[in-house]
Amino acid sequence: MQRTMIMAALCLAACGPASHTAPDGGTTGVDAEAPPIGSSAQALIGPEGGMVALGDAQLEVPASALTEDTMIRITVTDRVVEDPFVGFSPVYRFEPAGLHFRTPVRVSIPFTGRRETATIYWTVDESGAFAALDTEIVEGRAVAQTEHFSQAFVGTACTGDCCGRGRGELDVLLSVDSSNSMTEEQSKLASQIPHIARVFATGDIDGDGVQDVPAVRSVRIGTVSADLGTGGHVVPTCERAEFGDDGILTTNGRTAISGCLASYPAWAELGAGASPSDVDAFVSQVTCTAQLGTGGCGFEQQLESVVKAVTPSTSPLVFYGGTSGQADRANAGFLRPDAILATLILTDENDCSAVDPDLFNPSSATYGSTDLNLRCFNYPAALHDTSRFADALRSSRADPRDVVFGLIGGVPPDLAGADPRAILADPRMIEHVDPASPNRVEPTCVSSTGIAMPASRLVEVAGQLPGSTVHSICADDFTPAIDAILRRVADRVSGSCGAP
């Protein structure tokens, strides 16, 4: 990995005041002469609070943040930052290392670089990986709050013409198909959870020990099933016929899996400074709750379940039975207003989110005696238009570009990662009755563990959301799919604004 010295820091130390012109022509921070590398300042600060300053860099400790007198030190280090970062300031070390405060302290660092992208990056744990703090620019300085000590610099991890400040919070919603054919696929997803946790914590995607993308300061992961019931109609495998799992985050653990508890909180959270045991607990919870088991309703409503999970009751969007979304009801507290939302759907069936629940009625006069396995295929007009789901996901965030949509579903493996329009244009994605088995749709792909039907409706939604990536559930290894989703997340965490 190419290493980039923080040239601004070296120039400031040797050349005097900063220039008003950033290297890329953008606006700059304040005129300030950075202290030489190795210089430091310290102050004894107690429960009453105080401040320590090194040049124009400042740390303000509010009253009651400390319980006892503590020597606080700031030092300009000789540390270099690696790609993908570009430094706008020296790297400062704040000590004592690992100190945690009872309430957040305020860090203010002068910089030379683009105001539009200037972000305070903070090492989140002993690995030394940098993650973005929520940063604002005040009188030409980058300002942020933190509750623990480490190292920090002002800079950017974003390249290109469309960049903003880095982001540190991520909420992940897993949608897992719990129908009878999903045992092996759920297991393959579960095997990826340690990798996902490691990448979020370290920013190292390829596992070579070098940070490739910004780490995530705080991540939450919750799981919903695709089971929304059958509108009260009695259908085999649909035990909770009225509402199914209703888009509610699962708290059930798979006790059949070694080490799993019977129940868990509605979501798992991994934050800055997490200990190895914290990481292990996070991985264990997500692994146990993401494997929902089988026996779920065979009418999968993946899209409606996801949207119900993230939609607040104040939304005009209405669900079956006149009910409202779960975001501020059963799932209250999961979604944070400023967090990036990443949704990953794992399924081997197409979506069957129905406008008319009579579609699920075995004795329906409207939909006749058609085989239940073909109801969703034969009556597409009884399903919600896919724009409902793309619009709802965009509306769930203040900035719709904060939505990342990932699908591991019924797509030929050779089309994995392709543009959704190209995937939908492939003849293998066109649904038709299987000549060899006329009670089902012909599979779009076959794997060593089973078959998958064309996920055309799910791919349509991906095509309406710029931050999307589509991969095949028939792949032997889900690692490429997971890495593609992680890189989509990393783009947004880095501050890339992407397509509107």
Domains of the chain by start residue, with CATH:
3-156 (2.60.220.30), 169-493 (3.40.50.410)
The region that residue 498 occupies, defined by phi over 0 for left and psi between -120 and 50 for alpha, beta otherwise, is left
Confidence (pLDDT) at 6: 32
Confidence (pLDDT) at 32: 56
Confidence (pLDDT) at 30: 54
**What is the identity of the amino acid at 16?**
G
Only one residue has tokens 């759920």, namely: 186
Q: Are the beta carbons of 215 and 202 closer than 8 angstroms?
A: yes
Q: Are the beta carbons of 343 and 405 closer than 8 angstroms?
A: yes
Q: Are the beta carbons of 170 and 493 closer than 8 angstroms?
A: yes
pTM above 0.85, yes or no: yes
Rounded distance, CA 130 to CA 151, Å?
A: 9
How distant is the alpha carbon of residue 267 from its chain centre? 13
What the block records as the tokens of 164 is 């903003």
Average pLDDT along the chain, 500 residues, taken 10 residues at a time: 33 33 48 81 98 96 98 95 91 94 97 95 86 95 95 94 93 94 93 95 91 94 96 89 95 89 96 84 96 91 98 97 97 97 98 96 87 93 98 96 97 97 98 94 94 98 96 96 96 81
3-state DSSP helix/strand/coil % of the chain, to nearest 5: 25, 25, 50
Confidence (pLDDT) at 237: 84
